């Protein structure tokens, strides 16, 4: 790679596109870091900014990798931009993502202070650049994540065709995901880009004006197709769904699809227990099968497949193989979303070259991992593209989620199945016993049912540390979401001493509550702590190291700042409504 080639690519988007398709990540960062006289490992964490939320999302390595992976989407957007100013802004911003020099931000700013004709609203919201503005038939600011907000306004967009202004500088992918989603809601919008501010954290705004010829038959046909209510079904792998699973990942996805995307959403499986958690997922129903047998599920698909637009599968279990084949037989246009629920121990045992597994994976339209480490590992190992769909936070309660750091207490919290080998609860108990005298104001609170045999260990623990009985509280399984959320909101530290995990939902809940994280080096510890900015990591099974990290956090003068970092990181990366909006786009809008 020649330096001149890099600079030439920064001045012409078509050249940049070819450049990104020609060179690998390692080649580009080697060249760029060399120009900056900085080691590649240090340049990887360089804050690219341009409005991205500080932390992982704004580091050079993630911005460049996102650009390399989705070059086809950036190519699509360039062809959709309506004027020369927009194309100059876009080219300058993409150049900055590859070669982060101030001159490209200045060029984007110089090109973009004038709004496109037909849009008179000024970008002057008091808090800067949060949300979406829609002018004409709909006049409102939407104070929420941009993609989720677009989904909330789908009906208004289709019925009234308002002028739209969207901030697209909070995450690297916003610049193409927002217009892609809008094109899925109502095809034909005219797209413009403007950039307001030459600083590293400048604001980029995407403007969308209605189609000039709104009677265009092709656009109307596409709009009608998209507006048709989608039916989405989460199919159980075993007998049926457990009640607790209704308020985990798939429950959140189905609830958000129903609430924000006008989908008909349901779980399907045999009746296992009373589904009291249905009260937390309005709009989601249960399709009860006669039993949990393969034959019952096959009969269900034979009858219903033609009316199901997408089935959701959790885990690449062999029990799904025949069902996926049957679904595609009865509905070739139907979509399959596979959430891998992956950890390295499981994924490395799969015989992925076997024909049945290969055929199953080929049938899946969207395949995801819930952590970046596992996504990268599987993308290198497998031929199928693995998307990053994190296991985020969804507020299942009716109460407003509000973090008040002044009201937090000196509490360490853990939530999970206590006493199992996977959760390693004994490591947490032993670690707390080690630091109890040095952190006298702190208490430990444990939420969850207990595994068989754990009581014997616990009795021995109390015999050794009877003085801790008033500082260690076993709260049992908390079924009411409001009560569970109160535990998160009152705690300052969340502890996860597990031996193996994918990307557990409890981490997203803890981060959203502003908890500092004490964790072992499971696969996704970097995601859980934002590379250490939101907590501390120790080796799996290292009781002494875990204790040292707990004590460090308990005594940290900046513990509140760590908690605020956790909260802001969660807002940017683990909002389940925004995550589901991205998933909806991947499943249903990819061909638009």
When pLDDT is cut at 50, 70 and 90, the band that residue 523 belongs to is: confident
CA distance 414 to 418: 9
Among candidates 77, 102, 83, 82, which has minimal Cα distance to 92?
A: 102
| Predicted local confidence at residue 49, as pLDDT | 61
Among candidates 171, 169, 170, 162, which has minimal Cα distance to 141?
A: 162
When pLDDT is cut at 50, 70 and 90, the band that residue 343 belongs to is: low
- The residues, any chain, with a CB within 8 Å of residue 294's CB and separated by 6 or more, are 319, 322, 323
The H or E element containing residue 311 is strand 310-314
Task: Give the pLDDT mean for 410-420.
Answer: 95
Check if the beta carbon of residue 340 is closer than 8 Å to that of residue 320: no
Query: Residue 121 carries which DSSP code?
Result: -
CA distance 556 to 161: 52
DSSP three-state, residue 91: helix
- Mean pLDDT over the full length of the chain: 84
Check if the beta carbon of residue 506 is closer than 8 Å to that of residue 518: no
The H or E element containing residue 367 is strand 366-369
Per-residue pLDDT reduced to its tens digit, 377-410: 788 778 888 888 998 999 998 788 889 999 999 9
Lowest mean pLDDT segment, chosen from 15-19, 238-242, 450-454, 498-502: 498-502
pTM value > 0.85: no
Cα separations (Å) of 5 from 38, 70, 98, 437, 481? 20, 21, 13, 62, 56
Task: Give the pLDDT mean for 95-119.
Answer: 81
Higher-confidence position of 270 and 148? 270
DSSP three-state, residue 165: strand
Q: Is the dihedral of CA 321, 327, 333, 338 positive or negative?
A: negative
Per-residue pLDDT reduced to its tens digit, 438-490: 999 999 999 999 998 899 999 999 999 999 999 999 999 998 888 999 999 99
What percent of the chain is modeled with pLDDT above 70? 86
When pLDDT is cut at 50, 70 and 90, the band that residue 128 belongs to is: very low
What percent of the chain is modeled with pLDDT above 90? 46
The 10 Å Cβ neighbour count of residue 8 is: 13
pLDDT of 201 strictly over 80 = no
| Predicted local confidence at residue 196, as pLDDT | 81
The H or E element containing residue 150 is helix 146-152
Calculate the CA 276 to chain-centre distance: 27
What are the start-end ranges of the H helices in 469-534? 481-490, 505-512, 525-529
| Predicted local confidence at residue 217, as pLDDT | 42
């Amino acid at each position: 790679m020649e330096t001149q080639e890099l600079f030439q690519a920064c001045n012409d988007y078509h050249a940049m596109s070819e450049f990104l398709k020609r060179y690998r990540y390692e080649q580009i960062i080697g060249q760029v870091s060399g120009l900056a006289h900085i080691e590649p490992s240090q340049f990887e964490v360089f804050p690219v900014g341009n409005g991205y939320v500080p932390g992982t999302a704004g580091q050079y390595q993630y911005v460049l990798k996102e650009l390399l992976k989705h070059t086809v989407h950036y190519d699509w957007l360039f062809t959709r931009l309506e004027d020369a100013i927009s194309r100059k802004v876009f080219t300058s911003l993409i150049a900055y993502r590859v070669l982060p020099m101030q001159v490209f931000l200045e060029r984007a700013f110089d090109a973009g202070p004038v709004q496109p004709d037909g849009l008179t609203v000024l970008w002057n919201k008091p808090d800067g650049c949060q949300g979406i503005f829609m002018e004409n038939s709909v006049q409102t600011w939407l104070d929420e994540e941009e993609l989720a907000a677009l989904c909330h306004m789908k009906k208004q967009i289709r019925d009234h065709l308002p002028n739209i202004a969207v901030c697209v500088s909070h995450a690297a992918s916003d610049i193409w995901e927002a217009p892609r989603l809008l094109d899925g809601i109502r095809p034909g919008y005219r797209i413009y880009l403007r950039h307001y501010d030459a600083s590293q954290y400048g604001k980029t705004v995407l403007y969308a004006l209605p189609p000039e010829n709104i009677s265009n038959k092709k656009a109307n046909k596409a709009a009608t197709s998209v507006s048709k209510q989608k039916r989405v079904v989460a199919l159980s792998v075993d007998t049926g769904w457990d009640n607790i699973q209704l308020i985990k990942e798939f429950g959140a996805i189905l609830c958000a699809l129903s609430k924000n995307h006008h989908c008909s959403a349901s779980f399907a499986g045999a009746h296992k227990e009373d589904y009291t958690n249905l009260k937390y997922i309005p709009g989601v129903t249960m399709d009860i099968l006669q039993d949990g047998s393969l034959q019952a599920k096959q009969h269900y698909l034979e009858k219903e497949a033609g009316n199901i637009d997408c089935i959701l599968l959790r885990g690449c279990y062999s029990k799904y193989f025949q069902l996926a084949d049957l679904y595609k037989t009865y509905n070739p246009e139907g979509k399959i979303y596979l959430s891998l629920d992956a950890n390295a121990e499981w994924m490395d045992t799969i015989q992925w070259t076997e024909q049945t597994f290969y055929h199953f994976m080929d049938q899946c339209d969207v395949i995801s991992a819930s952590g970046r480490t596992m996504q990268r590992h599987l993308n290198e190992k497998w031929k199928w593209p693995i998307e990053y769909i994190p296991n985020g936070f969804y507020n299942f309660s009716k109460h407003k989620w509000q973090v008040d750091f002044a009201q937090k207490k000196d509490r360490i919290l853990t939530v999970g199945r206590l006493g199992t080998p996977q959760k390693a609860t004994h490591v947490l108990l032993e670690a707390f016993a080690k630091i109890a005298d040095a952190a006298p104001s702190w208490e430990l609170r444990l939420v969850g049912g207990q595994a068989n045999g754990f009581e014997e260990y616990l009795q021995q623990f109390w015999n050794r540390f009877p003085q801790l009985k008033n500082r260690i509280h076993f709260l049992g399984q908390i079924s009411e979401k409001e009560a569970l959320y109160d535990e998160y909101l009152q705690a300052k530290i969340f502890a996860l001493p597990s031996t193996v995990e994918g990307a557990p939902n409890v981490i997203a809940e803890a981060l959203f509550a502003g908890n500092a994280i004490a964790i072992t080096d499971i696969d996704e510890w970097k995601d859980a702590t934002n590379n250490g900015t939101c907590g501390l990591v120790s080796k799996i099974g290292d009781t002494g190291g875990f204790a040292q990290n707990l004590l460090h956090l308990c005594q940290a003068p900046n513990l509140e700042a760590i908690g605020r970092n956790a909260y802001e990181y969660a807002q940017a990366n683990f909002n389940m409504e925004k995550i589901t909006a991205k998933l909806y786009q991947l499943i249903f809008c990819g061909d638009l």
